[in-house]
Structure 1
């Protein structure tokens, strides 16, 4: 975590934690997923001065809640003539009907779905 010297003083640790929350919460990485919230600070190490910049880099070890969707995860979706719409945490997913197999057809009604020659792909309603 990089911090400008104007934030040094009695509240140094609080300033580091505040900047960490501001910079990290709501971000994403391919390895860990979406950082939802920082839940704890384990350790704030000694700072190292960056040459020529005046900023100080502090190593910070922290715990956080992350959201990472995985392959094969089942999501509730809204089925329309245009395709499938789903949300999973901060992720919004849309699969166009142009990407569905050629043998699938949209069937409107009380429970819209796509049907194939072998039967229908049903939408499960969870209450």
Structure 2
């Protein structure tokens, strides 16, 4: 991420009502309005960088206006086109560069970030949501059938499959505890909750009758 002073070009399309003694000032003011705060412009020269190909950046501020060319009347419209050469301070991120950003807003469609003077929007939109859901459904169905066919997943393993969530795991655990208690037998249980999967279960509802 760098800040550069580069030479840029821009064209101002001026309405005939602005023709008058303040024409030059009007052209300058329109240049400031149209280019500052935008990502536009072709770079033609910079003293510290070899920019042989067109470069673009976020124009922060116009520093100098080098030349205002002769206006050309547009046929059939009456507007006048002024080519302008100027220098400006630009903010220039490069492809593949890692930048620090401040997240300013998060909503259901994506998030907004501030990277220096620029604002960036990162969308959560999936280009082919129906196709993705369809492929996920097929993949899940085939994997489930494969695991069941070769008994890869034990019946005592809960999770990853429909109808075998953590709530059902605690339900069967309570049944086993009650059965052991009424049979006056000993019971030992070992809990390994690596992903905190049981935190979302209402334990009071499930364990209430057995307490």
TM over 0.5: yes
Runs of at least 5 residues in structure 1 that lack an aligned partner in the other structure: 79-84, 97-127
Say if 2:101 and 2:115, in contact at 8 Å, map to a contact too.
no
Match of 2:120 among 79, 83, 92: 92
Give 1:56 deviation, angstroms: 0.3
Aligned residue for 2:99, secondary structure, equals coil
Give 1:51 deviation, angstroms: 0.4
Structure of greater Rg: 2
Q: Which has the higher helix share?
A: 2
Say if 1:48 and 1:58, in contact at 8 Å, map to a contact too.
yes
Counterpart for residue 22 of structure 1:
33
Q: Indicate the RMSD between aligned Cα atoms, in angstroms.
A: 3.0
Counterpart for residue 65 of structure 2:
41
- Quickly say closer, same or farther: Cα 1:67–1:14, change in 2 above 3 A: same
Aligned residue for 2:62, secondary structure, equals strand
Query: TM (normalized to structure 2)?
Result: 0.38
Deviation digits for residues 5-38 of structure 1 (CA, Å, limit 9, x no counterpart): 1111111110001111111111113831211111
Runs of at least 5 residues in structure 2 that lack an aligned partner in the other structure: 1-11, 42-54, 103-111, 125-211
Aligned residue for 2:94, secondary structure, equals coil
Counterpart for residue 19 of structure 2:
8
Query: TM (normalized to structure 1)?
Result: 0.60
Give 1:72 deviation, angstroms: 4.3
Give the length in aligned residue pairs. Answer: 93
Aligned residue for 1:17, secondary structure, equals helix
Counterpart for residue 123 of structure 1:
none
